[in-house]
Structure 1
Amino acid sequence: MAEDREKKDKILIVDDVPKNIQVVANILQGRGYSMAFAQDGPTAIEMAKKTPFDLILMDIMMPEMDGIEACRILGGTPETAAIPVLFLTAKTDTESVVAGLEAGAMDYVIKPVNDAELLARVNTHLSLHRHRRSLVEINRKLKQESEERRKAVEKYQSMYENAVQGMFQSTISGRMLATNPAYARILGYVSPDELIRLENVGHVLYEKPEDRELMLEDLRENGVLTNYELKIKRKNGDSAWLMINARLGETPEGEPVIEGVAVDHTARKQAEDKLRRSRETFRYQATHDNLTKLYNTRYLYSALERMVCECGKAGRAFSLIFLDVDNFKEVVDTYGHLKGSKTLQEFADTIQSCIEEPAFAVAYGGDEFVVVLPDTDTGAAVAMADVIRRRVRERAYLTSHGHEIHISASFGVAAFPRDARDVNGLLGLADQAMFNVKSRGKDAVRAIGTPSSPG
């Protein structure tokens, strides 16, 4: 019920004669109005400032301040200017009526008051007031919404212009429609306009135009791209990486477009590549000899343990060649340690030139080397060792340093499982066969338990 009372139209009745106030009040009584009363203009003005009346019924002829003056003051006061005033007057001369209307009155009723006329005019002006008030509220909301939209546009424009991330809109065919300054900077262009003027971004911005086609395929299939890595070409020709989040959209004309946000991913990509290369280098160094680039003993023992296990189960053979450069100390004493190291590098190249995968060579230590020959029996291993021996004899070493020296090597061969079934046993027997060659004149091949094959 309290809510209903709050919604009642509030009417202020102003007349210096209490009897006249009572007459009007009796007519309006029972119509659901909330009524207040004043007997002079100043009191009515003060009451209207404090209470938002919906209509004021005011007598023109009052002492101290007549109704016309009170109406003029009400109309010039911001708090009361919107309240409609309806004059109750016994004066019917045109001059008084015009003066009242010019003072801001909306209408007038002639005394003695006719009940039906008063009620009709009151209802009419209350209805008009409600409509005016509704329009004012609508205008206020429209103005507020317009201001909020303006601020939102300014905020979005500021974000768009000052964003660190690149923002773009392009056609499927490759024409750039819009871009922010950040996207232009990422791609190496001075301004968005310079980027927009490009004829076909697919050919200008991509090292491989087919990369854009692959991106479009994913976009068409999924409708969006999330953290999509894309390699592009900057204006100066440098390569760069973008991390893109994009979606398919439409222009107001219905043309399909790509809308997205791009982050310069180049530094992170370079860091990842550097880390990957570092890991690859570490893995390589963990299994290779720094001087000769052949496999090292760590890799040798690991590979042999695996081969012993696998070949033992499968009943397959493999062989080892243990070889040592003959008289290598003389090379070092004659030409120095640096050229001695260069000789070992060239010697390793000679071995590599003679074998093919899955065979591999190992720098065992100093001037000693091992060659592992999978799926190879003793006879084939001896033949391969002799191929290497002959190639070593034929080659001239240190020619890049202005020398032409010739060297030889001694070779020992052992085979799995014929000679031994464990790694240390195989290496020990191949080493023993090699030393047997050394003790009998060098520059030869010998399989353990067999006579040497001289050069």
Structure 2
Amino acid sequence: MEEILLNEEQEPGLKGDILIVDDTPNNLRLLSAMLAQQGYQVRKAINGKIALKGAQMAPPDLILLDINMPEMNGYEVCQKLKSLPETSKIPIIFISALDEALDKVKAFEVGGVDYITKPFQVPEVLARIENQLAQTRLNEELKIKNKQLEQEIRDREKAEIEIRLLLATTQAISRAADFHSALKVTIGLVAETIGWDFSEAWIPANDGTVLEYAEGWYTSDINLEEFKQKSLKFTFAPHIGLPGRVWANKEPEWIEDVSTEQNQFFLRPQLAAKVGLKAGFGIPIVVNDEVLAVLIFFKKESIPEQSHLVQLVNAVATQLGSLIQRKQAEEALRLSEERYHSIVDNAVEGIFQTTPPGRYVSANAALARIYGFDSPEELVSSVHNIATEVYIDQQRRQEFIDAIEQNNAVHDFESLVRRKDGSKIWVSENARAVRDSTGKLLYYEGTVSDITARKLAQEALHEQQQKTEQLLLNILPEPVAHRLKQDPSAIADHFEDVTVLFADLVGFTEFSASTSPGELVNILNVVFSEFDRLAERHGLEKIKTIGDAYMAVAGLPFPHPDHACLAAEMALDMLAGIDEFNQKMAKSFNVRIGMNTGPVVAGVIGIKKFSYDLWGDTVNIASRMETTGVPGAIQVSPATYELLQDRYQFVERGSISIKGKGDMTTYLLTGRK
């Protein structure tokens, strides 16, 4: 019978939507009841085709997938899910009775994030599901926060570019000797700052009937020189071409793609197309209702009109006009200052001027807000010594001055500062020294950005990176972890001589049947934590725990000449540790230990939920030493016995039938000599 339960929306209050895929009804009922009891919404599919259909119709939060199923096995289902856009990101945990390493490797290769072996422990299944769902939620939250942070950075960078352009052009124009040099400096500085490829200036001819080419600037593209040289031959009458219309209308104009315009509208479309110029806009320099020049800018891509860019360049043009017409300076200066202060006062960044001794000369509203004052005037009148009243570290002001003295400017100068209410924030300063014609320092000016959120985000990221690093070191040996970070491909190393140790709690399966899951996990945690401490003390590398079994190895990732002795010491201490645990906890557990020595392959495979593991015949024999061993004893193979017989006491057990190997003489390690 085919069965699948679908819900379009998850019911409120449930922990997650899980799809279970298994061709055994008893398994479906068991897993479904277990997960539903834990607060999950559960859907069931008895074969792969139904699972694919259900996952596409309503993608679940996680899929538990069996491997051995008719028609389409679990590997094929996983591959199909990972190939579909709507289901490719769903975490898939394989849950199967197959226990061979190759089965697990294949599960990870086709896209599984975890692998649980049947028969399974309920706490283990729940823990792995909750871990995967938590990782998914954290990844989604991180994506949202990253997008928000990226948008904030873009907004701040945009405002800073605009402010710097206004400051830079004001200073450059003020130093210009004449009209033409001012034009040349302006079009080059503006084009370079806004990232456009070509700029030119047109001025009225002496008789005032046409516009003539005055100045040109372009990037390093040599093809643009041809555009400049051929443009020298053009003139524009009022209302003709882009310069002529801007001249006549005294208003900015934007063309999304000049290379596709008709000749009568642009006049130079073929020439622009040849050198790759597309978007273009023109800005008039107007003083007392007279156009003194027209500035044209081109870019090698088609761009819709950007009003903020037009406003910014228009503000620059206004400042240039005020310099050109000194006789009308009062009115032109008023307009320029209004536009300048509008941008400065509405800027996200704070803008300041300070005296060399450390007082504010001027500040904008943004700076006052950053430092917690109600107005720029209050900030200027209240702060008398920046070094002691603003900076938390009073030496920062001197470091600020030293940095400017060395380079005449500072960039991204980050400091912890004090606000009016005493709270602390992080700021970043960009500033320069302003000097008179003799080189005398007049004041410092620059911008301030509140970077507290970024600092907190960086600290949180650093903390998370440290946790991730520690988690990785808890999973993998340190040299393997470093290699994996540098190269995420599969890692496999051959070790010629190691000793592998397997230990199993005897009778624990029967004990678990009459014990609550919480107590069961607590007991395993106490026992295995002690085993972990013994492994660290004796220099063994813990490989993994499987149910109530524990696996470790001596002699890797760093070879050790006495690897067999290290393993023997740990095995003896494990027996002693179990005895101590039984006395303390009033329990009667016993441990069966097996050891074997020989070559192995060790490494990491897969890209998700990876772990460090061992492969080879040495591992198999070590496992058989444990499973055929004696409770409360340490059974070793002949290879291990040969290395230890001179230093430890042994009892020959005799010939034991070992699966896959036939009869083998084994020995019981009883103590030290």
Q: Distance in 1 between matches of 2:390 and 2:539?
A: 44
Q: 1:192 to 1:308 in 2, by over 3 A?
A: same
Q: Distance in 2 between matches of 1:248 and 1:396?
A: 76
2:595 aligned with 1:413, yes or no? yes
Q: Tell me the secondary structure at the aligned position of residue 325 of structure 1.
A: strand
For structure 1, which segment, 169-178 or 420-429, has the greater mean C-alpha deviation from structure 2 after superposition? 169-178
Q: Which amino acid counterpart does residue 615 of structure 2 have in structure 1?
A: N
Selected match of 2:620 from 421, 425, 428: 428
* 1:329-368 → structure 2 map (5 Å cutoff): 329-354=509-534, 355=536, 359-368=540-549
Q: 1:161 to 1:446 in 2, by over 3 A?
A: same
Q: Distance in 2 between matches of 1:241 and 1:195?
A: 18
Measured after TM superposition, the shift of residue 177 of structure 1 is 4.4
2:373 aligned with 1:182, yes or no? no
Measured after TM superposition, the shift of residue 198 of structure 1 is 3.9
Q: Distance in 2 between matches of 1:168 and 1:325?
A: 72
Q: Tell me the secondary structure at the aligned position of residue 452 of structure 1.
A: strand
Q: Distance in 1 between matches of 2:361 and 2:575?
A: 71
- Aligned sequence identity (%): 22
Selected match of 1:381 from 564, 567, 576: 567
Q: Tell me the secondary structure at the aligned position of residue 369 of structure 2.
A: helix
TM-score calculated relative to the size of structure 1:
0.50
Q: Tell me the secondary structure at the aligned position of residue 440 of structure 1.
A: coil
Q: Distance in 1 between matches of 2:511 and 2:386?
A: 63
Q: Tell me the secondary structure at the aligned position of residue 431 of structure 2.
A: strand
Q: Distance in 2 between matches of 1:264 and 1:335?
A: 57
Q: Distance in 2 between matches of 1:454 and 1:411?
A: 12
Q: Distance in 2 between matches of 1:209 and 1:388?
A: 58
For structure 1, which segment, 163-172 or 387-396, has the greater mean C-alpha deviation from structure 2 after superposition? 387-396
Q: Which amino acid counterpart does residue 146 of structure 1 have in structure 2?
A: E
Measured after TM superposition, the shift of residue 170 of structure 1 is 3.9
2:327 aligned with 1:148, yes or no? no
Any idea what the Cα deviations from partners look like across 1:93-117, whole Å, max 9, x if unmatched? xxxxxxxxxxxxxxxxxxxxxxxxx
Contact 1:294 1:348 in 2 (8 A): no
2:669 aligned with 1:453, yes or no? yes
Number of aligned residues? 294
In structure 1, the residue matched to 2:410 is 225
Q: 1:149 to 1:204 in 2, by over 3 A?
A: same
* 1:11-26 → structure 2 map (5 Å cutoff): none
Contact 2:538 2:569 in 1 (8 A): no
Q: Which amino acid counterpart does residue 184 of structure 1 have in structure 2?
A: A
Q: Which amino acid counterpart does residue 382 of structure 1 have in structure 2?
A: A
Q: Which amino acid counterpart does residue 442 of structure 1 have in structure 2?
A: G
Q: Tell me the secondary structure at the aligned position of residue 349 of structure 1.
A: helix
Q: Which amino acid counterpart does residue 569 of structure 2 have in structure 1?
A: A
Contact 1:408 1:443 in 2 (8 A): no
* 1:94-113 → structure 2 map (5 Å cutoff): none
Q: Distance in 2 between matches of 1:333 and 1:225?
A: 70
In structure 2, the residue matched to 1:242 is 427
Q: 1:165 to 1:333 in 2, by over 3 A?
A: same
Selected match of 2:551 from 352, 365, 370: 370
Measured after TM superposition, the shift of residue 294 of structure 1 is 5.3
Q: Tell me the secondary structure at the aligned position of residue 144 of structure 1.
A: helix
Contact 2:591 2:631 in 1 (8 A): no
Contact 2:600 2:619 in 1 (8 A): no
In structure 2, the residue matched to 1:259 is 445
In structure 2, the residue matched to 1:34 is none
In structure 1, the residue matched to 2:240 is none
Measured after TM superposition, the shift of residue 378 of structure 1 is 0.7
Measured after TM superposition, the shift of residue 356 of structure 1 is 5.5
Contact 1:386 1:445 in 2 (8 A): no
Q: 1:174 to 1:356 in 2, by over 3 A?
A: farther
Q: Distance in 2 between matches of 1:151 and 1:208?
A: 41
Measured after TM superposition, the shift of residue 440 of structure 1 is 1.0
In structure 1, the residue matched to 2:87 is none
2:622 aligned with 1:440, yes or no? no
Contact 1:412 1:434 in 2 (8 A): yes
Selected match of 2:352 from 163, 168, 190: 168
Q: Distance in 1 between matches of 2:570 and 2:640?
A: 18
Contact 1:170 1:258 in 2 (8 A): yes
Where structure 1 has 5 or more consecutive residues not aligned to the other structure, the ranges are 4-140
Q: 1:142 to 1:244 in 2, by over 3 A?
A: closer
Q: Tell me the secondary structure at the aligned position of residue 346 of structure 1.
A: helix
Q: Distance in 2 between matches of 1:405 and 1:207?
A: 60
Q: Distance in 2 between matches of 1:142 and 1:378?
A: 94
Measured after TM superposition, the shift of residue 242 of structure 1 is 3.2
- Could you say which structure has the larger radius of gyration? 1
Cα RMSD (Å): 4.5
Q: 1:413 to 1:271 in 2, by over 3 A?
A: same
* 1:84-123 → structure 2 map (5 Å cutoff): none
Any idea what the Cα deviations from partners look like across 1:192-215, whole Å, max 9, x if unmatched? 455443455455555555666665
Q: Which amino acid counterpart does residue 346 of structure 2 have in structure 1?
A: N
2:515 aligned with 1:324, yes or no? no
Any idea what the Cα deviations from partners look like across 1:383-422, whole Å, max 9, x if unmatched? 133334434443479x9xxx7657554433344xxx1243
Q: Which amino acid counterpart does residue 325 of structure 1 have in structure 2?
A: L
Q: Tell me the secondary structure at the aligned position of residue 372 of structure 2.
A: coil
In structure 1, the residue matched to 2:650 is none
In structure 1, the residue matched to 2:608 is none
Q: Tell me the secondary structure at the aligned position of residue 164 of structure 1.
A: coil
Where structure 2 has 5 or more consecutive residues not aligned to the other structure, the ranges are 1-205, 207-324, 485-489, 602-613, 642-666
Q: 1:219 to 1:372 in 2, by over 3 A?
A: farther
Q: Distance in 2 between matches of 1:175 and 1:147?
A: 32
Any idea what the Cα deviations from partners look like across 1:4-43, whole Å, max 9, x if unmatched? xxxxxxxxxxxxxxxxxxxxxxxxxxxxxxxxxxxxxxxx
Q: Distance in 2 between matches of 1:200 and 1:184?
A: 16
Any idea what the Cα deviations from partners look like across 1:268-312, whole Å, max 9, x if unmatched? 444555566666666766x58xxxx6559xx89x99x96844x56
Q: Which amino acid counterpart does residue 573 of structure 2 have in structure 1?
A: V
Contact 2:417 2:425 in 1 (8 A): yes
Q: Distance in 1 between matches of 2:522 and 2:600?
A: 36
Contact 2:365 2:376 in 1 (8 A): yes
Contact 1:325 1:409 in 2 (8 A): yes
Measured after TM superposition, the shift of residue 145 of structure 1 is 0.7
TM-score calculated relative to the size of structure 2:
0.36
Q: 1:254 to 1:452 in 2, by over 3 A?
A: farther
